[in-house]
Structures are given as C-alpha cells and as structure tokens.
Amino acid sequence: VGDGASINIWKDTWLPQPSTFMITSPPCGVLPESSTISTLIDNTAGEWKHNLINAAFLPYDANKILIIPINKN
C-alpha cells in the first residue's frame, strides 16, 4: 500500500480479501469515488483514520483495512 497516494479506494485491488481484493462496501457520501488510500491515513500519527474508516465502510471492510500495517517510514 505504501503511502496510498496512487491507489484508488474504490477501483483498485488493495484489500487483503481473497478473490476480489477490493472494497465490497458501496461508495458513500463520506468519500468521493476518486479518493485514494492516502485519504485514510493520518500521516502525523502514523496510523489509520479509524473514525473515517468506520464511517465510510461496512464493518467487514473496515476491519480488513484496519489490520493492514501502516508503513511509518
């Protein structure tokens, strides 16, 4: 995933989810369809934006996202 700047949340394969590797949650008003993974990362804290992720995705997808380690380099 790296910094996530070039990976589209809704269109690219990036989720550790066998078969599709894509988000199954429908796009919502919280995040535009052009959003990248970097939108979900708090670079200052070096962690996922938990509140945003939980608001934007179904619990199954949110849990899959939150288990992905953030590269703090």
**What pTM does this model have?**
0.88
Give the number of domains in the chain: 1
Average pLDDT for residues 10-15, to the nearest whole number? 93
The reported pLDDT for the residue numbered 56 is 95
Q: 62 pLDDT band (50/70/90 cuts)?
A: very high
In the chain, pLDDT over 90 holds for what percent of residues? 67
Cβ-proximal residues to 51 (8 Å cutoff; 6+ apart), any chain: none
**Domain containing residue 39:** 1-73
The reported pLDDT for the residue numbered 1 is 62
Q: Among residues 35, 34, 36, 45, which one has the least CA distance to residue 70?
A: 45
